[in-house]
């Protein structure tokens, strides 16, 4: 949803990481901790980022990024690419229990066979953050080229090198 200072966006995966935000947006937006009820955060086989889908019972912790500009939202939409739909959801802020209508990215393919388990942000920071930040830099650099690659293609190319060197992607 759009607020006075731009859009508010609930993030629950790699976009919680200030370094990733800085690479993408050239700034770290103001943010507050929040909980999204009725959703589950999944790991994805062969990927270093999570997704969410409604399940009616669980909750996902994350952050609400405040004041995202139209241009930044467009860039984030490109980054999330065709795998996600941006939907409006209601979250509850952790510090004051205020309810907010915000946008978030929900996995488009609810029957995806690559969905499994529970994605963990702290584990991601330990094992995948550094490579993810590097791949994100390549995505941003590639956007400046006339034949710009999608985030999916950029990440496949980047992380394919890791697979060939014996490193798995779903640590």
Q: What CATH number does residue 78 fall under?
A: 3.10.490.10
Output the CA angle 47-45-116, nearest 5 degrees.
Answer: 120
Which range marks the domain in which residue 73 is found? 2-120
141 occurs within a structural domain: no
Please check the confidence at residue 67 and state whether its pLDDT lies above 90: yes
- Which pLDDT belongs to residue 105? 98
33 occurs within a structural domain: yes
163 occurs within a structural domain: no
Q: For the chain, how many structural domains are there in total?
A: 1
96 occurs within a structural domain: yes
159 occurs within a structural domain: no
Please check the confidence at residue 126 and state whether its pLDDT lies above 90: yes
In this prediction, residue 156 has a pLDDT band, given cuts at 50, 70 and 90, of confident
Strand residues in 94-156 grouped as ranges (E): 99-107, 115-116
91 occurs within a structural domain: yes
Output Rg (C-alpha) for the chain, integer angstroms: 16
In this prediction, residue 100 has a pLDDT band, given cuts at 50, 70 and 90, of very high
- Which pLDDT belongs to residue 1? 46
Catalytic residue among 59, 72, 80, 122: 80
Beta bridge partners of 87: 104
- Report the share of the chain in percent with pLDDT over 90: 76
Please check the confidence at residue 142 and state whether its pLDDT lies above 90: no
Output the CA angle 8-44-48, nearest 5 degrees.
Answer: 70
27 occurs within a structural domain: yes
12 occurs within a structural domain: yes
Contact status, residue 169 vs residue 47, Cβ threshold 8 Å: yes
Is 83 known to be catalytic? Answer: no
For residue range 3-42, list pLDDT tens digits in order: 456 999 999 999 999 999 999 999 999 999 999 999 999 9
């Amino acid at each position: 949803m759009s607020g006075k200072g731009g859009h508010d966006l609930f993030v629950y995966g790699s976009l919680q990481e200030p370094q990733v935000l800085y690479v993408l947006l050239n700034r770290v937006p103001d943010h507050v901790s929040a909980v999204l009820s009725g959703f589950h955060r999944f790991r994805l086989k062969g990927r270093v980022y999570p997704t969410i889908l409604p399940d009616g019972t669980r909750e996902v912790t994350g952050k609400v990024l405040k004041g995202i500009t139209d241009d930044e939202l467009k860039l984030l939409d490109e980054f999330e690419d065709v795998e996600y739909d941006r939907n409006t959801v209601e979250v509850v802020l952790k510090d004051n229990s205020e309810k907010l209508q915000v946008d978030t990215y929900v996995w488009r393919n609810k029957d995806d066979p690559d969905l499994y388990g529970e994605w963990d942000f702290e584990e991601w920071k330990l094992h995948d953050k550094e490579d993810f930040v590097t791949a994100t830099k390549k995505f941003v650099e590639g956007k400046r080229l006339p034949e710009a690659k999608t985030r999916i293609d950029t990440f496949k190319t980047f992380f394919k090198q890791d697979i060939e060197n014996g490193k798995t992607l779903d640590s």
